[in-house]
Amino acid sequence: MKETTYLDAIHDALDEEMAHNKDVFLMGEDIGYYGGAFRVTEGLYEKYGRWRVIDTPLSESGFTGAAIGAALMGMRPVIEMQFADFISCAFDQIVTVAAKNNYRWGGKTPIVVRAPFGGNIHGGSYHSQCPEGWFLNVPGLKIVAPSNPYDAKGLLKASIRDDDPVLYFEHKFLYRRIKGDVPEEDYTVPIGKSMVVREGTDITVITYSAMVHVAIEAAGILEGEGISAEIVDLRTLLPLDKEGIYSSVKKTSKVIILYETPRTGGIGGEIAALISEDIFDYLDAPVVRIGAKDTPVPYSPPMEEFYLPKAEDVVTAARRLVAY
């Protein structure tokens, strides 16, 4: 075991996968010589050369298409959107080509699109968005979002080895702030499986990525008030781990879904619908969703703080739910 930051865990996963499979290669802007805008790919260019760590022109759509072509030939490209916000430039290639290739004509397309997402870094509208909601409705894609270094490394390896297009959302706020124990030997975290990160009996908080840490903070506060919160870290957003979600909800009967995208049209709606449709009889209170405000991400600190979900939002909702 080694204590590793969230960022280093991602770097190590890339390094290890490239070392043991020569078909794995990287493409993105500034990832090669510069080492990446966040330094995630530092050192890889020197180690693997310019044709395995490719500095692309400013062409998200173009190099996503190129990744698809290389993947169809059996390679395993891992491409990077410098900020997840720029994934909208590649939206067409992702949903039109990558997502549907296997279904329509048996064209396996094993690409991984890494996208640093999330706010709280004074980034404003185009450096802080969480775009996963735009892709949830596209069958053929897989979407993952780790919350800690162990999952970050394991899920990235699993995504690279997976034969389907995977959108891998890494949270930029967690890069250097979160450290954790990571095994030195090879391991993967399965796609499609959630994880209970904190056991509890009174309410369930279903969440992912940076919001897991917000939930943990809230759970600590609630513990002091005698409220026991169970936290389920989804880890994979598409396809959802219904079993994992349901088994926790059946236990507590009260649910909060916590996510960082704007509330409307986010994953909370889908999960809430699944719960009420499939396990209605286990609910002892309405299903509550806490998302970011329905606005673009504002810049000025008091406004961004207002925009993002916080621990006190979770605590307030939990108190009401428990008393309901």
- Residues forming the site for another protein (CB under 8 A): 25, 51-52, 54, 56-57, 59, 61-75, 77, 92-93, 96-97, 100-110, 139-140, 142, 162-164, 190-193, 195-196, 236, 239, 243, 247, 253, 277, 280-285, 323-324
To another protein, the closest distance from the beta carbon of 32 in angstroms equals 13
Token digits of residue 146: 């780790």
Q: Which CB atom, from 167 or from 292, has the smaller least distance to another protein? A: 167
Question: Is 187 strand, coil or helix?
Answer: coil
Pairing of strands 229-233, 195-198: antiparallel
Measured CA to CA, the distance from residue 32 to residue 240 in angstroms comes to 34
Q: Which CB atom, from 213 or from 235, has the smaller least distance to another protein? A: 235
Token digits of residue 177: 């702030």
To another protein, the closest distance from the beta carbon of 320 in angstroms equals 8
To another protein, the closest distance from the beta carbon of 303 in angstroms equals 33
Cβ atoms of residues 68 and 96 within 8 Å: no
Q: Which CB atom, from 25 or from 307, has the smaller least distance to another protein? A: 25
3-class secondary structure per residue, 28-86: ECCCCCCCCCCCCCCCHHHHHCCCCEEECCCCHHHHHHHHHHHHHCCCEEEEECCCHHH
Cβ atoms of residues 255 and 203 within 8 Å: yes
Q: Which CB atom, from 193 or from 310, has the smaller least distance to another protein? A: 193
Please confirm, yes or no, whether 127 is among the known catalytic residues. Answer: yes
Q: Which CB atom, from 48 or from 173, has the smaller least distance to another protein? A: 48
To another protein, the closest distance from the beta carbon of 3 in angstroms equals 21
Distance of CA 3 to the CA centre of its chain: 21
Task: Choose the catalytic residue: 11, 127, 171, 213.
Answer: 127
Cβ atoms of residues 276 and 283 within 8 Å: yes
Look up residue 50 and give its amino acid: R
Question: Is 112 strand, coil or helix?
Answer: strand
To another protein, the closest distance from the beta carbon of 239 in angstroms equals 5
Angle CA(244)–CA(247)–CA(223) in degrees, nearest 5?
A: 95
Q: Which residues are catalytic?
A: 127
